[in-house]
């Protein structure tokens, strides 16, 4: 069975590469366009779910460790397909399930914005899983690892499904798949404090999903369709707007819960703190971003064009929440003593930056917010990978436990500092690019934008404070029982960590790719405005 899975995984990757080569050869050399009904997007999801059948099988220890290899193969394959979509030059891919034309059938679709989010999801999944094995071997019992990898694949499949689905109800289905799998991942570690955290996460996500489903039900009642593109046109024909306004409110609140937008973030700190380290790295990089993507997709694709004054309402209601999230999240992070909890509250602040850019409802603002989704995934993913490395030698993850760890783990801590500088927004890092564009977008409002600029600068100084607290403990404090020898960290974990850290520097110096992708995504959103 092990040989079969290896052969299947290798054959699948080679088949994907052959398909990519054939499609691009037809396009560039023979002038044949890539068909819009290309079917490899749903195949991504199918392969991931099918892989769990092998991963969950009973077997000996070596066979169980094959679950990691099989999962990694599938995750890398999805990342390769995501890269193929980006290389396709912004082509819009559509797939109609069973050959049924939308809106009667289920449609999967990938545009400029969804392609970027798809790249973030699969990239974060591949990078986290590549470095995951040493940490998972330490935190997850061997007999439970197949279930863990199965849940990982299901969570990844759910997030991918949310991104590519063009059907409102199927977004809900994939949302529940990813949520249920995430519960398993968070609760699967050795820390029993994760159980009440998962319970709170489940309650909040259930409320969010219920609100979303009520909103979808109201829209379906008024329009008779669940296809997003068809919904956009049919809402315009609805005479009575109050049910649509109510639907917009339910959907916005439900997705805001999923995206952990302040003050609906209460589930996030504990979930990130007590989850296994690699799970935190994966979820922090992409989970809330997907919910934010769906929120923006609904708002700009469905509501903005059809509801009078909705763009103004979007800014009025969400901009104050974004500002409060930035300030409150940064302020709490300054006083946290657990490094994972500190970075979790930092994520609340960073989500505020994304929402602040989107609430400006301009090309510059949306570009800044979307590029920050990309850059924050790079920075926060690298930071949590570093935390996983610290956990291999430290007694705990409180600041007192990390005293002097920079001398024991210089390479690991060096990568942490690079990612921390990106989180602050220091020039030469990816984080600086998105904050610079966010400041530029705020300045377009003239005097009205000056308070926003001040908030961005103040919050960046607050980020300096909480990142410096970690640096101070790791570099300048001395532990009572500090060893003079350097700690041994798995080479693959260090290499993956530095790959993520180097990406923060590269995209800070050469930001053309994320800026181009974010600009295309912003243009796609604004194309739907009246």
Output DSSP code: residue 30: S
Crossing angle for the helix pair 168-187 and 145-164, nearest 10 degrees? 160
CB-neighbour burial class of residue 328 (10 A; exposed 0-12, middle 13-18, buried 19+): middle
Stretch among 352-356, 399-403, 451-455, 470-474 having the lowest mean pLDDT: 399-403
Confidence of residue 7 (pLDDT cuts 50, 70, 90): very low
Q: In degrees to the nearest 10, what's the CA dihedral of 58, 62, 68, 72? A: -120
**Residue 400: predicted pLDDT:** 82
Tens of pLDDT, residue by residue over 194-235, are 788 888 888 888 898 899 999 998 888 888 888 887 787 787
Percent of the chain with pLDDT over 90: 7
**Residue 212: predicted pLDDT:** 92
**Residue 44: predicted pLDDT:** 46
Q: Which residues contact 406 (CB under 8 A, 6 or more apart)?
A: 413, 471, 474, 475
Task: Give all strands (DSSP E) within 457-529, no chain letters.
Answer: none
Cα–Cα separations (whole angstroms), residue 317 to 168, 253, 360, 362: 24, 11, 12, 16
Per-residue pLDDT at 49 exceeds 50: no
Could you count the other beta carbons within 10 Å of the beta carbon of residue 54?
Answer: 22
Tens of pLDDT, residue by residue over 18-44, are 555 555 554 454 444 333 333 344 344
Confidence of residue 523 (pLDDT cuts 50, 70, 90): confident
- The CA-to-CA distance between both ends of the chain, in Å, stands at 57
Confidence of residue 188 (pLDDT cuts 50, 70, 90): confident
Q: How far apart are CA 452 and CA 441, in angstroms?
A: 10
Q: Is the CB of residue 492 less than 8 Å from the CB of residue 134?
A: yes
DSSP letter string over 151-163? Answer: HHHHHHHHHHHHH
**Residue 98: predicted pLDDT:** 57
Q: What is the mean pLDDT of residues 505-513?
A: 88
Helices (H) and strands (E) counted in the chain, each on its own, are 21, 2
Nearest CA to 279 out of 60, 476, 132 is that of 132
Torsional class of 446: left (φ above 0), alpha (ψ -120 to 50), beta (otherwise): left
Per-residue pLDDT at 91 exceeds 70: no
Stretch among 2-6, 368-372, 400-404 having the lowest mean pLDDT: 2-6
**Residue 326: predicted pLDDT:** 92
Q: Which residues contact 507 (CB under 8 A, 6 or more apart)?
A: 374, 375, 378, 430, 433, 513, 514
**Residue 40: predicted pLDDT:** 43
Q: Pick the residue with more confidence: 309 or 1?
A: 309
Q: What is the mean pLDDT of residues 306-334?
A: 81
Confidence of residue 505 (pLDDT cuts 50, 70, 90): very high
Confidence of residue 189 (pLDDT cuts 50, 70, 90): confident
Percent of the chain with pLDDT over 70: 78
Q: How far apart are CA 128 and CA 383, in angstroms?
A: 12
Q: How far apart are CA 96 and CA 186, in angstroms?
A: 34
Q: Pick the residue with more confidence: 80 or 199?
A: 199
Could you count the other beta carbons within 10 Å of the beta carbon of residue 191?
Answer: 14
Q: What is the mean pLDDT of residues 121-126?
A: 85
Q: Is the CB of residue 48 less than 8 Å from the CB of residue 78?
A: yes
**Residue 60: predicted pLDDT:** 43
Degrees, nearest 5: CA angle 249-255-258: 145
Stretch among 248-262, 300-314, 337-351, 468-482 having the lowest mean pLDDT: 300-314
Q: Pick the residue with more confidence: 214 or 444?
A: 214
Q: Pick the residue with more confidence: 499 or 17?
A: 499
Q: What is the mean pLDDT of residues 347-364?
A: 88
Q: Pick the residue with more confidence: 18 or 4?
A: 18
Tens of pLDDT, residue by residue over 458-480, are 998 999 998 998 888 888 777 65
Q: How far apart are CA 301 and CA 294, in angstroms?
A: 10
Q: Which of 24-28, 29-33, 436-440, 521-525 has the highest mean pLDDT?
A: 436-440
Q: How far apart are CA 423 and CA 461, in angstroms?
A: 11
Q: Pick the residue with more confidence: 4 or 494?
A: 494
**Residue 15: predicted pLDDT:** 52
Cα–Cα separations (whole angstroms), residue 167 to 58, 173, 290: 37, 10, 15
Cα–Cα separations (whole angstroms), residue 360 to 68, 320, 365, 493, 521: 43, 12, 5, 39, 15
Q: Render the burial of 72-97: b for 16+ CB within 10 Å, e for the rest.
A: bbbbbbbbbbbbbbbebeebebbbbe
Average pLDDT, whole number, for the chain?
78
Half-sphere exposure of 448 (CA within 13 A, CB side): 5
Q: How far apart are CA 317 and CA 116, in angstroms?
A: 26
Q: In degrees to the nearest 10, what's the CA dihedral of 86, 38, 68, 140? A: 80
Could you count the other beta carbons within 10 Å of the beta carbon of residue 61?
Answer: 9
């Amino acid at each position: 069975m092990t040989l079969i899975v290896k052969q299947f995984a290798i054959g699948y990757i080679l088949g994907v590469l052959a398909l990519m080569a054939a499609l691009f050869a037809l396009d560039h050399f023979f002038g044949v366009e890539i068909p819009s009904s290309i079917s490899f997007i749903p195949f991504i999801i199918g392969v991931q779910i099918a892989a769990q059948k092998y991963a969950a099988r009973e077997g000996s220890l070596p066979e169980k460790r094959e679950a990691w290899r099989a999962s990694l193969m599938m995750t890398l394959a999805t990342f390769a397909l995501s890269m193929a979509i980006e290389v396709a030059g912004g082509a819009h891919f559509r797939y109609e399930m069973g050959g049924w034309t939308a809106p009667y059938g289920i449609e999967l679709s990938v545009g400029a914005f969804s392609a970027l989010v798809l790249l973030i999801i699969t990239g974060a999944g591949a990078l986290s899983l590549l470095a995951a094995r040493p940490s998972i071997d330490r935190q997850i019992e061997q007999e439970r690892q197949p279930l863990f990898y199965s849940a990982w694949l299901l969570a990844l499949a759910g997030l991918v499904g949310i991104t590519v689905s063009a059907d409102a109800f199927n977004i809900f289905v994939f949302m529940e798949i990813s949520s249920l799998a995430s519960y398993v991942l968070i609760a699967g570690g050795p820390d029993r404090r994760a159980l009440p955290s998962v319970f709170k996460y489940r309650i909040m996500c259930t409320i969010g999903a219920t609100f979303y489903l009520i909103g979808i039900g109201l829209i379906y009642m008024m329009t008779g369709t669940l296809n997003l593109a068809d919904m956009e046109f049919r809402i315009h024909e609805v005479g009575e707007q109050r049910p649509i306004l109510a639907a917009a409110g339910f959907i916005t609140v439900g997705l805001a819960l999923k995206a952990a937008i302040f003050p609906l973030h209460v589930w996030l700190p504990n979930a990130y703190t007590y989850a296994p380290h690699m799970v935190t790295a994966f979820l922090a990089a992409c989970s809330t971003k997907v919910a934010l993507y769906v929120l923006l997709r609904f708002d700009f694709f469905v509501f903005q064009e059809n509801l009078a004054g909705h763009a103004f309402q979007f800014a009025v209601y969400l901009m104050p929440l974004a500002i409060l999230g930035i300030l409150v999240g940064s302020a709490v992070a300054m006083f946290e003593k657990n490094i994972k909890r500190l970075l979790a509250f930092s994520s609340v602040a960073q989500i505020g930056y994304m929402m602040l850019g989107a609430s400006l409802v301009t090309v510059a603002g949306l570009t800044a917010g979307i590029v920050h989704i990309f850059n924050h995934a790079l920075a926060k993913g690298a930071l949590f990978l570093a935390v996983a490395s610290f956990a291999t030698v430290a007694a705990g993850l409180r600041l007192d436990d990390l005293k002097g760890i920079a001398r024991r783990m210089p390479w690991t801590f060096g990568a942490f500092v690079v990612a921390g500088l990106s989180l602050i927004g220091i020039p030469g890092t990816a984080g600086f690019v998105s904050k610079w564009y966010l400041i530029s977008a705020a300045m377009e409002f003239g005097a009205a934008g000056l308070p926003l600029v001040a908030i961005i600068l103040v919050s960046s100084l607050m980020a300096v404070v909480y990142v410096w607290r970690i640096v101070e403990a790791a570099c300048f404090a001395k532990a009572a029982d500090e060893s003079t020898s350097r700690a041994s960290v798995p080479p693959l974990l260090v290499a993956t960590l530095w790959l993520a850290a180097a990406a923060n520097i590269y995209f800070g110096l050469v930001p053309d790719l994320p800026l181009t992708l974010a600009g295309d995504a912003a243009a796609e959103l604004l194309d739907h405005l009246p």
